[in-house]
Amino acid sequence: MRRKLAAGNWKMNGTGSSLSELDTLANLHPNAAVDILICPPATLLGQAAMQVSTSSVSIGAQDCHADTSGAHTGDISAEMVTDVGATAVILGHSERREDHNEDSELVRIKARAAHAAGLTAIICLGESEAQRDAANTLDIIAGQLAISTPDTATADNTVIAYEPIWAIGTGKVPTLVQIAEVHDFIREKLTSRFGPEIGNAIRLLYGGSVKPTNADDIFTVSNVDGALVGGASLKATDFSPIITALEGATI
């Protein structure tokens, strides 16, 4: 059985004072029945990892460079992420793909670097509203999945997150049928490529306007093994009900 994962992406939000939210979250879920991951800005990675080292919360990064070192001003390598105590890294988020012109080939190279450094790569996929309206969703997802996911992917080092771009931070949420269609499709593609043992064990997250008010319903959908949450993860009191909903879905 795949262990559920509640992952929070703080994006470009948070300063040192925000780390008190980690203590609150850990206190609210001291013996969590699911994995809890928070991905703060790079400036907070080391302090955050140290702060939660004995709790149920883990820390991840929001990106890493494909190279292990070099003349890449402002970037951080996967080894640096591991070195400060983080265990995972988000890759290929639509905001990275759009704002920094990252394509799926680069995401694949970064994912290989993450694997080599001992990190879990959370590889993000998602279609735009125009692509959804043109009935191209599954074609877009198939292409992103095939190219972004390296051959080194296993259930231990890879998580796939489906985040329809048009639902991120907009309040719009696909229907449960639409979410199921994409997640079942991703599962089918993974088992076809990696075989049933690996393909059926890789966790699939849904992301895009996940809130306490809709989490219960989303977590009933087939092949939804958790959520990648943005704004609702910034405050422990907002994120906690989503975690609780996910714990309920494990029963």
Query: Active-site positions?
Result: 93, 163
| Cβ contact 44:16 at 8 Å | yes
**3 state DSSP class of 28:** helix
Q: What backbone torsions phi and psi does residue 84 show, to the nearest 5 degrees?
A: -90, 0
Give the tokens for residue 39: 């991905």
Rg (CA), the chain: 17
Packed helices 20-28 and 236-249: angle between N→C axes, nearest 10 degrees: 30
Cα distances (angstroms) measured from residue 251 to each of 18, 53, 60, 97, 229: 32, 27, 27, 36, 22
Strand segments, DSSP code E, in 163-207 are 203-206
For tokens 């714990």, what's the residue? Answer: 247
Cα distances (angstroms) measured from residue 129 to each of 45, 120, 167, 184: 33, 29, 9, 20
| Cβ contact 242:22 at 8 Å | no
